[in-house]
Chain A
Amino acid sequence: MALDRETFHAALVARHGAARQAKFDAARVAVCGLGGLGSNVSIALARAGVGHLHLIDFDRVEPSNLNRQQYAATQVGLPKAEALCANLAAINPFCDVVAETVRVTSENLAALLADDDVVCEAFDRAEAKAMLVSGVLEAFPEKPVVAASGMAGLASANAITTRRVAKRLYLCGDGATDVDDNLGLYGARVLVCAAHQATMILRLIDGADEP
């Protein structure tokens, strides 16, 4: 059965309250990187009824992604932005999704992210994370950034937290585990970190500024 927009929205208002849902409806969130973090963050935000999602990733779905990223085996080979856009449409057909297959660089990030209220850093390489976070905080005086550092391996999920580490920078993760240390990445633990990011993004949209 296809739901109409009014029924879908009424169900969100029933769970979240009209005032908070109105903030979610109006929000514009950029998700940079659509891997284990970004695909899960995007789904959590679409389910919450965030009105506008800007999905950005240059890569395609690979078999090695399927242990933790929200793609189907049938989507291997597709651009991640395109595949996730389709998956989000099945979850929340009323979310306004702009999906771009592009590599974010220090040169293009200001133009790419100009219209977004909140930026979610969801890359995998540490150097790319630092480039994006430093660039966004430098280019935009008001925009908050919710980033992730440390979710590799199978250590306790309880080590993963959200901290405010700079004026507009929120950092989710254990801050210590690095995928370069051959710890592996496990869907369940990456999902905990993604859930921290999604929760902080919803809190920022709602007007909170502490973790």
Chain B
Amino acid sequence: MLKINGEEKEAAGQTVADYLASSGFNLARVVVELNEAIVPKGRYAETTLRDGDQVEIVCFMGGG
């Protein structure tokens, strides 16, 4: 079990890229923080989620 945006999720073993895609996120519009460190945009496919992780995903809306 790990926490994504404050909610408990069964996502251990998935990569960040897999989780984002399966949850319907547009990868170009997100910022991902894993255990208080930013996951570089080029490393989503090689970063694996583990039990106990704290993940924050911010998906941006357009306009300014």
A residues at B contact (CB < 8 Å):
33, 35-38, 106, 122-127, 129-131, 133-135, 137-138, 147-152, 165-167, 169, 171, 173, 175-180, 185, 190
| B residues at A contact (CB < 8 Å) | 26, 28-33, 36, 38, 40-41, 56, 58-64
User: Of B28, B56, B61, B64, which is within 8 A of A122 by CB?
Assistant: B64
Query: Is there an interface contact between B58 and A165, defined as CB atoms closer than 8 Å?
Result: yes
Count of A-B contacts judged by CB separation below 8 Å: 91
Per DSSP, are chain B's interface residues mostly helix, strand or loop, or mixed?
Answer: mixed
Minimum C-beta distance from A210 to chain B (A): 16
Contact check, A151 vs B31: say whether CB atoms are below 8 A apart: no
If A134-B41, A137-B38, A138-B38 touch, whether A169 touches B31 (CB-CB below 8 Å) is yes
Most buried by A among B28, B33, B40, B58: B58
Given contacts A127-B28, A190-B63, 8 further A-B contacts (CB under 8 A): A122-B64, A124-B62, A124-B63, A129-B62, A130-B41, A152-B63, A166-B31, A177-B63
